[in-house]
Every structure is written in C-alpha cells, then in structure tokens.
Amino acid sequence: MGKNNKNKKKVKGAEKTNLKTEKKLLLKQKKMLAKIGEADIGDLLAKYRVDPTKKDIPAAEIECPAPSPRVNFSIVTHPTKDQLVFFGGESFDGQKAEVYDDLFMYNIAKDGWTVLRGGGERPLPRCGHQMVATATDGGQLWLHGGEYSSPSQLQFHHYSDLWVFRLKSRLWEKISAAGGPTARSGHRMVLLKKRLFIFGGFHDNNQSYKYFNDVHFFSLEDYRWTKVDVAGVAPPPPRSGCCMTTTTGGTILIWGGYSKSSVKKDADKGTTHWDSYSLVPDKHDAKGASWKWVSIKMGGMRPPPRSGVSFVVAPNGRLYTFGGVMDTEEDEESIKGQFTNELHSFDVENRVWRKIELSGSKQESKSHGDDTMNEEKVVTTAGAFTVTVAGKGAEKSAQKSSVSEPSPRSHCGLAVCKGTLFLFGGTFEEGSRDNTLGDFYSLDLQKPVEWKTIIGVKSNQMEWIGSESESDSERSDDEEDVSDESDDDSDSDMDTD
C-alpha cells in the first residue's frame, strides 16, 4: 500500500516539474514576442474570422495568377470536373512565415487558375491539414485539422475542426460533432465506405509535443464521430506524415512516417519510420467500430526510409510517391537533409513497389556520366537493411538536368486526373536557406517518358530575404538576447508532414 502511494507521489512530482518548466518557457516566449513586437496568436487569427451569421453568402470565383510558392498545402482532383483544387499551405522567406486560407482551382484544359474570394464563414489559415473530395451533391471537399504558425514561428495553433465545402453552391460549413480527434496536424485522412478515417499526426506548441497513433472515423451519413476500438498485438508507433490508402477489400494500409522523442533534456531524436501495417475490420462487429492492426510485408523495389514523402492514390489502384528527405549526420551536432526527386509506384492490392524510371531521365543521366551521378553517397541502416542514397553529386546533377524534371524536394503536392500526374511546390534546403517552391509539372502515367513543365521555377520563385552570410557578429544585441532566451529553439523546426 505504501509503495503504491510512493509511486503516486512521484507522478505528481513529475507533473509539477513539467508544469513549472512549461511556465518558464511561456514566460521566455512572451519576452521574445514583446521584443519583436508580435501580437498574441489569438489576435493574429481574429483578423481572419468572418461573421458566422453571414455563412450563407457564396464565395465568388475570380480568375487569377497561379498560387504563390507554398508547402504543406492540400491538393485534390475535382470530383466532377477536370480540375485540381488547392487549399492553404505555408511559406517562409528567411525572415517571416506566412500561412494561407485561399482556395484555388486549376482548369487543366484551359491551363487557367481561379481563386475563391469573399463569401461567409470559412476555415482559418492552416497547413499540415487533410482534405478529401467526394462526388456527393455535385461535389464536396472535406477538410480536417492542421496548424497555424505566427510570422516569427514562435507561436503555433493546432486545429481539431471539420469543414465541408460544397462545390456547387461555393459554401463552407463547419461541422459541429462531438467525439472527434484532438487538435493535430500531419495526420492522414482517407474515405472508405462513406466514412472519413483519420490516423496519427502530432501536436507541438514549442513547449511540448506529442505524436499520435489513434484512429477515428466520421460518418458522412449520420455526421457522427467514432473512436475506433483497435485490437492487435502491436499497433503502429505514433507518427505523422505517413502514406495511407484504402483497398478494394475494405482495409486501410499505412507505410512510413516520422516522429521524434526526447532522449535527454533539451535534446530530441527524430525517427523516420519504414514499417507498414494494415488496419482490418472485425467482421463480427456490425457497427464497424472494431478493427485490428496487422504488420505486413511489401515487395518490389521499396523506397528508402524518408520523411516528407508526397503521395497520391490514382484510380488505377496505384499509389505514387515523390521526393522526400533523409537526415544524415555529419557529426554529433550537425544534421544535413538529403533530398531526392525519385518517383515510385505502389500496387495497393498486390503490395508491390516499383521505381519509375523515365526514359528521358535515363538519357539525361548518361549525358552527365556515371561518375557524376555516383559521387558522394550516403549509407544508412534501417533494421536489417542497409540503404544507399545518392548524395550531393546526384542532387547537383538533377538540378543541372532538363528543366522539365522537378528538382529534389519534400512536402510537395501531388494529384492525378485522367491518367496524368501533377506536381506543385514543396521545399528544398540549400545551405541555410529553406527554399519554398512554386513550380508546377505534369507526367503522363500511361507513357512516363518525361515531365512537362507547366510553371518553371524562375517564373514562380519566392525571394529569399534572409542572408546566408549572416553571422553572430552582424546581429544586434537584441537579436542575441532573443536567441539566448529561446534555448536554441527560436527557429522551431516543426514537423508539418
């Protein structure tokens, strides 16, 4: 009895210490915000709010230029037209972050853009959210979660809201239903038998973070949330940014993802997951709330473990992935991102991976010479596997190749319409720069010869305001004080996968 009470005291003591730590961090953050003159995140978001009494006013669709460069946005194929629909996302110019609430449509045949302006209540700016399209009632877009960051990236707000946009009436509606997932971003959402299934994600507010592996579904028939009762020997570890798709047999597959955990005070360790699971329904449960996780094996040329991998599921039953980044340690305190522009396909029903080699790319690779393509390789291990990924030489070669080929990147947007794969935006690190991209490409999946450039890099490129040559000696005393008080966390490398 005494032993149990002692354990309880330890738990209370740990909770008390954590609360004190969070209060100290909040106090430091308030001081930093006061120095840079940034308003509270609640006030920043308030300017985007629309009077809910005007919710029945439809938005106007206006012709416009292409979306600005962005990352962590959502892109889906219009359910009834040959169009692509974009929503939200974020960008960073070296000094200021910007998060968007705009909804764009791209008309494929006309190669033209429109944006929705005005209207009634709508989702607040966000990135790292999820959006799914259905053909019901002339087309609907279902949007869940995501996050908003302040311009300094010192403040974050995560959403737990669910919205539906009716394409025919051009009206947003916020769905009020209890029992849904907690606020998060980087999660995944798929549609299966008139249910929206949500898995994983993370919540990070610069004081603490948490990754999830829970499963919820929302019924599009009775508008109710259900937390799935998941059985199984070993569920997937918590993660964000995984690949997720459904099968014709009514199961759900997940692969990969990213998470981080604390290894010691002020030190975190990131994990790029390489495992795969199937979520299988309990046939004896008439309500469909009982499922179980099963670890599965995948065949073929499986992609190396990477985070920030973009994916899309095509009507032909194949999942396509592009890009991603692998962290490589140069020494104990220095980590470098190794980006790729590889394209892979996954046969969902047969669980087989294949690397797609474009005939145009093969010819380009030979022109650079094998020595150039093979120089500087990174070797890493994942369980029982050893993976070799082309290094800096390959990246430079890819950038010098044909302009019709997307450069290495992570967190871009992918969509498939009538057998054509479309790719927009993303991010790529170059030294101290975090380049936000706004280029746009298409690829015929029936005859994958080469990428077609719709918008080149130079015609839609974000200007980098931050200086690569900035050194500590050039910084002001105030900037040094802010950096010292932030405990080296002012840049906040948050996972919005």
Structure confidence by residue, pLDDT tens digits, 257-300:
999 998 877 788 899 999 999 999 988 887 778 899 999 999 99
Confidence (pLDDT) at 387: 34
User: How far from chain centre, in Å, is Cα 190?
Assistant: 14
Q: What Å distances lie between residue 205 and 6, 12, 29, 159, 339, CA to CA?
A: 32, 23, 11, 12, 27
Packing angle, helices 392-400 and 359-368, rounded to 10: 110
Confidence (pLDDT) at 33: 81
User: How far from chain centre, in Å, is Cα 337?
Assistant: 16
CB 132 within 8 A of CB 151: no
DSSP H or E segment with residue 366: helix 359-368
Q: Is the pLDDT of residue 489 over 60?
A: no
N-terminal to C-terminal alpha carbon distance within the chain? 46
Average pLDDT, stretch 216-224? Answer: 97
Q: Which of 207-211, 302-306, 334-338 has the lowest mean pLDDT?
A: 334-338
DSSP H or E segment with residue 258: strand 258-264
At 400, the pLDDT band (50, 70, 90 cuts) reads: very low
Confidence (pLDDT) at 383: 32
CB 332 within 8 A of CB 383: no
Confidence (pLDDT) at 329: 60
Confidence (pLDDT) at 31: 75
Q: Is the pLDDT of residue 496 over 80?
A: no
Q: Is the pLDDT of residue 459 over 60?
A: yes
Packing angle, helices 477-485 and 2-36, rounded to 10: 160
Question: How many C-beta atoms surround the C-beta of residue 92 within 10 A?
Answer: 23
Q: Is the pLDDT of residue 76 over 70?
A: yes
Confidence (pLDDT) at 492: 43
DSSP H or E segment with residue 163: strand 162-166
Q: Which of 24-33, 67-76, 460-469 has the lowest mean pLDDT?
A: 24-33
Confidence (pLDDT) at 485: 42
Angle at 372 between CA 377 and CA 430, to 5 degrees: 65
User: How far from chain centre, in Å, is Cα 385?
Assistant: 26
Average pLDDT, stretch 31-50? Answer: 89
Q: Is the pLDDT of residue 495 over 70?
A: no
Confidence (pLDDT) at 399: 40
pLDDT digits (tens, 9 = 90+) for 307-332: 999 999 999 899 999 999 987 665 55
Looking at per-residue confidence, does 353 or 478 come out higher?
353
CB 315 within 8 A of CB 416: yes
pLDDT digits (tens, 9 = 90+) for 108-136: 999 999 999 999 999 999 999 999 999 99
Q: Is the pLDDT of residue 376 over 80?
A: no
Q: What Å distances lie between residue 14 and 8, 11, 64, 185, CA to CA?
A: 10, 5, 54, 27
Confidence (pLDDT) at 24: 61
Confidence (pLDDT) at 131: 98
Nearest to 258 by CA among 275, 277, 246: 275
Confidence (pLDDT) at 469: 47
pLDDT digits (tens, 9 = 90+) for 170-209: 999 999 999 999 999 999 999 999 999 999 999 998 888 9
Confidence (pLDDT) at 326: 87
Confidence (pLDDT) at 164: 98
CA–CA separation, 401 and 497 (whole Å) = 28
Q: Is the pLDDT of residue 396 over 90?
A: no
What is the pLDDT of the chain when averaged over all its residues? 83
Confidence (pLDDT) at 426: 98
Nearest to 101 by CA among 118, 77, 126: 126
pLDDT digits (tens, 9 = 90+) for 465-478: 874 444 443 444 44
